[in-house]
Structure formats: C-alpha cells, structure tokens
Structure 1
Amino acid sequence: MATTKYKRLDRDDCIFLFVDHQAGLIQLVRDFNPDEFRNNVLALAKVAKYFGAPSILTTSFETGPNGPIVKELPETLPEAPVIRRPGQINAMDNEEFADLVKKSGKKQVIVSGVLTEICVSFPALSLIEQGYEVFVVTDASGTFAEHTREAAHKRMAQQGVQLLNWVAVAAELHRDWRRDIEGFGSIWGDHVPGYWCLMQSYNTAKQGQ
C-alpha cells in the first residue's frame, strides 16, 4: 500500500501570505462570526511574527468596494510588504507579488485570505502548480457560507493543498514546547478560549516550585 510522506511545516522554510483581508471583503464573511474571525486572523499574524517568518500582505482593487487592508495586519507585521494589486483577482497573476514569493526562497507557503474559494483557492492552486508546498489556514480564511467553504476545501485538497487551522500551524512550526513555554504560550493565552487559565495555572505552579 502506497504511503504519502508527511510534509510538516518548517520554521526555516516557510512564508506567510495574507491575501485580501480587506475592510470591505471581510463584511462578506459568514462562515465565522466577526469576533471569532478577527481573533483567528490576528493570531495567525502573531504566529508569523513570533517565528520571524517572512510575510507578504496583499489587497485587490483597494479603490473599489473591497476596501483597504485591515489596519491590524500591517500593525502586527510592520516589516511585511503590502502589494496593492490594481485588479488581478488571483494574487499570483500580479508580477510584483509572485516575484516576492519566489525571491523569498521558501518552499512552503502558508496562505490565508478572503474569500476562501477565490482569493485563497486561486493563488493556492497556482502555487501548487509551480511546485510549492501549500498550507491553507482554514480558520483565518473566510467566505459566504459553510457550503462554499467546503467546496473550496475539497477543490484545494484534491490538488495537494494541506488544510490546517492556525493552532495547528503554530504547533507544527514550534515542534517542542520546551523551546519557549511562556512566549509561545502567550499567543495561545491571548487567542485560544480558556487557555489563559491554563497559563495562569502553569505560572502559579512554577512560582511555587
């Protein structure tokens, strides 16, 4: 029986792409509630920052109804370039954006965005076609409804895209809690419901040792 090799995320060989998290488009997201979606996107941005991985932010047709990029992303990732595409729907059709991905030298691409079946799926499939290992962050990507999300996930998975949520991305990059309990745990404490209590318990126990 044929086996598939486990392609695990490597902190030294990955790049994060935040595609079209724009003030207008985010209002169309209905498969997550607004607070939950905001939490997930910002958590993922913090993960990218924590691991010092390169990131690229991009928007589509900002002067139209899609609106500007949400301010929290460039605030969290101030060193990340923002590519404002004049009209290309597939971010990989934008030469500047595609060149930045290539010049990063990274083989693993972590993608999130709005809308899932368009702004995420199209570049993800283009990246697969070009030989990259592609990981789509399902809970930091949003769309109209659950059924449209599921159709997009199936389409991408059939072409080899791996589907993960943000905590799975974080954990697979970290590999071992002993690398940094407090720093890594602070992201979970801020963004995983209830985890702040676990960190408090840990810190209290540690102080009592």
Structure 2
Amino acid sequence: MTATRPADIVSPITDNALPNRVSAADARVAGRYGHDKPTAENSIVLLVDHQIGLMAGMRDTTSLAELKSNVVGLARTAKALGLPTLITSSNAQWQNGDNLPEIKEIFSDQPIYRRTGIINCYEDPTFRKALEDLVAQTSRRHIIIAGVTIGTCCALPTLSMLNDGYSVYPVVDACGAWNRYEADAAMSRMANAGAELVTTFALACELQADWKLSSANAMLEPFNQNLSEYGFVLQNFWNNANGHVVPDPFGMVK
C-alpha cells in the first residue's frame, strides 16, 4: 500500500527574500565568513577589454562562442537590472580591435573609455576617475568585473581594487585566457587576495534574488539568449504550459 503524502506547503507569493540574521561585519568578528553579497542596489559592473582582436586568441574555454555568450549575457544582466556599468578598451586603434558590437549595442548610451597604453584599467587616471566618480555618486562599492584576458585585464585591477577597499567579484567565465595555466593562476591569485569568484548566470541569480521582483521579465532575456541550456527549458515549458498537474499559485498557468 502506498502511503498518503502530506499536503504540499507553498510559500506565500507575498514573501520577500530574508537577509542573513547576522551582518557580514559581525560574522567576521565572530571568526566566520562574512557574507557581504553583491546586489542590484550595491554593485557596479566593469567590462574590460572585450575586444574582437583579443577575443580571437582565447584558448581556455570550450569555444569562443561560449565565451562570447557569457560576456553578452553578463552585459544583458547588467542592463536588465540597471547596474551602473563602465566599459573600457586597450589600444583599440591597433591590434586589439574594438569592443564587441553587442556590448556597444546594449550600452549604446555609454561611452567607452579608450586606454592608450596603461594595461591595468584601475591604474589609468581617466578610467579610475570615472569609477571613483561613480562610486561617489552611488555609494556602491561592490565591483563586478570581467575582462580579456583574465590574467591581466581582470586580475590586475581586481588586486588593485581589493587593496583600496572594494569588494570585488570577478566573473571568471566571462573572461578568457591565452591558456589554462593563465586562467588557473589568475583565479588562484585573485581568490587568495580576497576576491569572490563568480560565474555569469549564478551571479545573475544572486543579483535577481527573487523571481517575483519587477526585474524578472527583463532578466529572462539573458537566460533565454545566452544560457541556451536554460533557455530551452523556459521555451519548452511555455510552449506546453497547459498540461501541468501542480497548481500554479500565481494563476499564470491554466
């Protein structure tokens, strides 16, 4: 005889995400990990040197298509959540080439900070002023950064910003490297220095936090467009949305 299951318990759709009970600062005082997470309200995004000449040489990922999709997915996530975003290039007039056209299209209202030789973007006076002005205007000090290559364009400013008191979140799968050694060394170096390594769509979920928030519809675009594995799941569901046996508390599925 099959036992009767108890009734499911469905959380109210009026619930909001709960904060941690203890602040990050108090957790650190107690000797624990201080969870000071990036949010849509406290973060700035830096897109560093995603240039067509540099992208062509990346060899640490499954494919350049996957790397490009992650980069564009990160850009779309930043746009969907209204995150302040700074875009920069290095010697675009020469071999490195221009920034990805998709980034320029997504942020058509943003200038590109064209560095003319300084490799670490945080050491470039013009770019640093732009970042510091943005921090002063917004009080945001959580920096989400991705760059090509990870060992220079991402790791070098990450280490500098950690030194200067920022919380830094390198998006490692939206970075590329000349080889796997470079990627592994850069990730080890950044993590050991105190950066919190993240990936594009795990970060997107952390920033969204609750699919009931008003940004949810806009946030579906990067998942649909740039994470095909989940995009197919979404599309398949909504193509067959009327045959489900679990009641929908939102009343969206009939």
TM-score (norm 2): 0.78
Deviation string 1:151-181 (CA, Å, 9 cap, x unpaired) is 1000001111110011121111100112154
Q: Quick check: 180-189 or 82-91, which moved more?
A: 180-189
- Which residue of 154, 160, 163 maps to 1:126? 160
The offset of 1:201, in angstroms, is 4.2
What is the DSSP-based 3-state SS (H/G/I as helix, E as strand, rest coil) of the residue aligned with 2:35? coil
Partner of residue 92, structure 1: 122
Higher helix fraction: Structure 1 or Structure 2?
Answer: 1
The offset of 1:65, in angstroms, is 1.4
Partner of residue 241, structure 2: 205
Partner of residue 146, structure 1: 180
Supply the distance in 2 between the matched residues of 1:69 and 1:108 (Cα, whole angstroms): 24
What is the DSSP-based 3-state SS (H/G/I as helix, E as strand, rest coil) of the residue aligned with 1:194? helix
Q: Once the two structures are aligned, what percentage of the paired residues are identical?
A: 30
- Which residue of 71, 92, 106 maps to 1:62? 92
- Which residue of 205, 208, 217 maps to 1:171? 205
Given that 1:25 and 1:114 are in contact with CA atoms closer than 8 Å, whether structure 2 keeps it comes out as yes
The offset of 1:186, in angstroms, is 3.0
Establish whether residue 184 from structure 1 lines up as the match of residue 211 from structure 2: no
Supply the distance in 2 between the matched residues of 1:51 and 1:84 (Cα, whole angstroms): 25
- Where does structure 1 lack aligned partners over 5 or more consecutive residues? none
Partner of residue 27, structure 1: 56
Establish whether residue 78 from structure 1 lines up as the match of residue 108 from structure 2: yes
The offset of 1:30, in angstroms, is 0.6
Supply the distance in 2 between the matched residues of 1:154 and 1:208 (Cα, whole angstroms): 46
Deviation string 1:34-85 (CA, Å, 9 cap, x unpaired) is 1101111110000010001111111111222112222211111122221000
Supply the distance in 2 between the matched residues of 1:41 and 1:87 (Cα, whole angstroms): 23
Partner of residue 5, structure 1: 34
What is the DSSP-based 3-state SS (H/G/I as helix, E as strand, rest coil) of the residue aligned with 1:79? coil
The offset of 1:24, in angstroms, is 1.1
Higher strand fraction: Structure 1 or Structure 2?
Answer: 1
Q: Quick check: 108-117 or 174-183, which moved more?
A: 174-183
What is the DSSP-based 3-state SS (H/G/I as helix, E as strand, rest coil) of the residue aligned with 1:28? coil
Change (3 A) 1:197 1:64: closer
Establish whether residue 196 from structure 1 lines up as the match of residue 231 from structure 2: yes
- Where does structure 2 lack aligned partners over 5 or more consecutive residues? 1-29, 243-251
Supply the distance in 2 between the matched residues of 1:190 and 1:159 (Cα, whole angstroms): 34
Given that 1:55 and 1:81 are in contact with CA atoms closer than 8 Å, whether structure 2 keeps it comes out as no
Partner of residue 133, structure 2: 103
Larger Rg: 2
Deviation string 1:86-139 (CA, Å, 9 cap, x unpaired) is 100110111111011111122011100111001111111111111000000011
Supply the distance in 1 between the matched residues of 2:51 and 2:73 (Cα, whole angstroms): 17
Supply the distance in 2 between the matched residues of 1:70 and 1:131 (Cα, whole angstroms): 30
Supply the distance in 1 between the matched residues of 2:52 and 2:232 (Cα, whole angstroms): 32
Change (3 A) 1:175 1:88: same
Given that 1:114 and 1:142 are in contact with CA atoms closer than 8 Å, whether structure 2 keeps it comes out as yes
Supply the distance in 2 between the matched residues of 1:89 and 1:3 (Cα, whole angstroms): 36
Given that 1:54 and 1:80 are in contact with CA atoms closer than 8 Å, whether structure 2 keeps it comes out as no
Tell me how large the CA RMSD over aligned residues is. 1.6
Supply the distance in 1 between the matched residues of 2:98 and 2:241 (Cα, whole angstroms): 45
Number of aligned pairs?
Answer: 209
Supply the distance in 2 between the matched residues of 1:182 and 1:128 (Cα, whole angstroms): 34
